[in-house]
Amino acid sequence: MLVFEYPERSQWPELLRRPVFDNTALETSVGNILADVRQNGDAAVRKYAQQFDKVQLDALAVSPAEFAQAAASLDPALKKAILQAKHNIEVFHKAQQESGKVIETMPGVQCWRKPVAIEKVGLYIPGGSAPLFSTILMLGIPAVIAGCKEIILCTPSNAKGEVHPAVLYAAEQVGLDRVYKIGGVQAIAAMAYGTESVPRVHKIFGPGNQYVTCAKQLINKDGVAIDMPAGPSEVAVLADETCVPAFVAADLLSQAEHGPDSQVLLVTTTPDIIKGVQEQVAAQLATLPRKDIAAKALENSRIILVRDNEEAMDLLNAYAPEHLIVACKDDITIADAVINAGSVFLGNYSPESAGDYASGTNHTLPTNGYATAYSGVSLDSFVKKITYQRLTKEGLQHIGSTIEIMAAAEGLDAHKNAVTLRLK
């Protein structure tokens, strides 16, 4: 990680720049796959499963027997951990439920807003080098709590046509029984457009590689909603003299191991901790099975020394990290200055991994600077807020002239007449 001491604000945009990739060629190839699946359905899905995942799929859907076998084969300790995480995530997301509170804006004029679940949602769970069964909890639990009527899940199988048992166990515990052995762009296409086996959905959630991300962006142009724009995983750590360098290094590496295009950032007001963190990063990196991936990510990463916490927070808000860890003595006070971040972790004993798995908050978060305008996934992500109003005769008499005057001023006489006729 390169170190930058007291950079001028004019240098910040360059220092905080994420890795940039040219997606022009990617969009063409991804677009071709989307079009093929849209036109040829299951046949195209099977073709791409053979081409990319090296698997010959007969049935696309996971069978009840496969669910049962997964539950029987999974380590009991992992089952217990999944259930503990499930409980915490449920508690946090159930607390987000709202009831439609009626507001009387003036006598006889009542307005309210009612959350209504999105009827059909699709969840994408990557496989590849790390089957992200934790993401099933993060997406499936709020979808179920929201009351979505149709929830389907796509995830790639291995070359034998088997889905990782932890993925199936987590899905079953959440209450998801419609799981399809489809990965990559073809999975996004199947959920977006529907096939003979896979129903079409209204909104698609879930992380993925650059191909999946590109596919989600393209189907969004076709009118299928997605959870949010997404990019490689990232973490920023703000640390002072009270931090534990080993903890900071571990947090940096926990994101760096996601992929070579991930980025991590250490911002500090304390020069003395930099060497200690660097030494810990090197020592811990050497022991990681995914050390080559993490090392590549560290090439995109920075250590930035700033003058004080105010400057640090200005810089971090400009970066808008997916994850922000505040390992400082005044963590609660500093947290009040956070404007742009996906999720914030306060103190020396709040590792980012807690939010990734089991504290209760959602780990599906805006990356690539989108935290300036987007929130992470929550119960709200699975509902629409429909507004209602009910006016009594008295209410229309109170507000009618206001509507008539405004409609006339805009030259919309039919709008005015809709009120005038009633008042007469």
For the annotated catalytic residues, the residue numbers are: 322-323
84 is in an annotated binding site: no
Place of tokens 């003036």: 106
- Which residues of 277-330 form beta strands (DSSP E)? 302-305, 323-327
Say whether 2 sits in a helix, a strand or coil: strand
Structure token digits, residue 284: 């811990």
Say whether 153 sits in a helix, a strand or coil: strand
164 is in an annotated binding site: no
Place of tokens 């086996």: 197
415 is in an annotated binding site: yes
Distance from C-alpha of 305 to C-alpha of 271, rounded to nearest angstrom: 7
112 DSSP β-pair partners: 388
Q: Which one-letter amino acid corresponds to residue 374? A: Y
111 DSSP β-pair partners: 103, 389
Q: What is the chain's alpha carbon radius of gyration, rounded to the nearest angstrom?
A: 25
Run of H or E including 103: strand 103-106
Distance from C-alpha of 113 to C-alpha of 103, rounded to nearest angstrom: 9
| Displacement of CA 196 from its chain's centroid (Å) | 29
| Displacement of CA 298 from its chain's centroid (Å) | 23
The conformation of residue 305, written as its DSSP 8-state character, comes to E
410 is in an annotated binding site: yes
Q: Which one-letter amino acid corresponds to residue 1? A: M
The conformation of residue 208, written as its DSSP 8-state character, comes to -
Task: Classify strands 109-117 and 103-106 as parallel, antiparallel or unpaired.
Answer: antiparallel
- Cα four-point dihedral sign 43, 49, 51, 55: negative
209 is in an annotated binding site: yes
257 is in an annotated binding site: no
69 is in an annotated binding site: no
- Which residues of 125-242 form beta strands (DSSP E)? 150-154, 179-180, 203-205, 225-226, 234-239
Binding residues for substrate: 233, 255, 258, 323, 356, 410, 415
